[in-house]
Amino acid sequence: MTSQEEITVPEVPGPTARVLTYTNLGESARSVLAPYAEIITGPVEDTAGWYAEAATYDGMIINGQVFITGEVMDRIGPRLKVIGRTGIGVERINLAEATERGIMVVNTPDGPTESTAEHAIALMLALTKGVVFSDRITHSGQGFSPLGTLPRGLEAAGAVLGLVGLGRIGTRVAFIARALGMRVIAYDPFVSAERASELNVELAPDLATVLGEAQVVSIHCPAIPETFHLINRITLNLMRPGTLLVNVSRGTLVDEGALLEALDSGHLAGAALDVYDPEPPDPANPLLTHPKTICTSHIGSYTEAGVLRMQVMACQEVAAALQGKRPPNLVNREVWGKQRQGFTGR
């Protein structure tokens, strides 16, 4: 029988990669990535010391507040192979520069869907019921305002919700709105009539139709050049008087100056915003203190479930990239086949 001294246990090598995360990961997220990488938690900083440390990173998981330009990629150096984004938007990552350098960019498009859709519905109901406006009056200590001096609320049941965009989040908003008894119409050039019919959504032929019929307009589009200031003076004037506007997508979709004019003139009855251009918004932005607006601080997906879901998905994407597998949510798809390979060691 072999003695205890003769028994040898093979050494299990530790992770050969290093990944920076901007936040402490939940245990279920860490368990996905830990077998493949040492996890370092900390901010992205524009300092020589940070770049020296960043030169040892194989991957990064960042949020939507961080800009990653080609210059940043070069200063980090040739070891960086993958940039993960917890969320959907990657407009602050230069995709062309990442592709040129062989760096994969991944995101978590399914992660924020439920929480963001619920936030859109919450903002819509807060607008239609005058929740925040009445709350402000009550908190002021001035007592109840005479009912005749307040705008009357809008019942969701039977009201018309117009969706600009019918992707993941827009689809979920439509489902919840239908459960509330709303009639839902939508404009999305990439959605078929058959798909809209499955969702019990009326597919409009153009944006003007949606804006002209809806009592509440909710925006669910990506931030791309084609959607910049999609809601502007012209499109705002297409809306019926008294329309309510909700934006939980991206601030660049709305011309804030034109929105302010529409609110001041009374053409729009109210607007609820979770996103701005720029972010964070200028404290002097008049929309933040306007009596007809509800303003939240880009918290649409910021729930316990939503945050953890995005963390897990980001770790899955980055882990796949570190193993040499094609990540399911590779944003810059053209990089595949010429992505940076292998580990350079610690």
Q: Given 53, 91, 279, 290, which residue is catalytic?
A: 279
Q: Is 18 a catalytic residue?
A: no
| Centroid of chain to Cα 73 | 23
Which are the contacts of 24, defined by CB distance < 8 A and separation ≥ 6?
41
Rounded to whole angstroms, the Cα distance separating 236 from 255 reads 10
267 as an active site residue: the answer is: no
334 is catalytic: no
Q: Which of 101, 220, 298, 309 is catalytic?
A: 298
288 with 295: CB under 8 angstroms? yes
Residue indicated by tokens 């939240």: 296
CB 180 within 8 A of CB 173: no
Catalytic residue among 250, 256, 309, 317: 250
Total Cβ atoms within 10 A of residue 97: 17
Are residues 164 and 210 in contact, defined by beta-carbon separation less than 8 angstroms? yes
**Are 343 and 17 spatial neighbours (Cβ–Cβ below 8 Å)?**
yes
What CA–CA distance (Å, rounded) separates 89 from 28? 23
Q: How far apart are CA 267 and CA 238, in angstroms?
A: 10
Q: Provide the annotated active-site residues.
A: 250, 279, 298
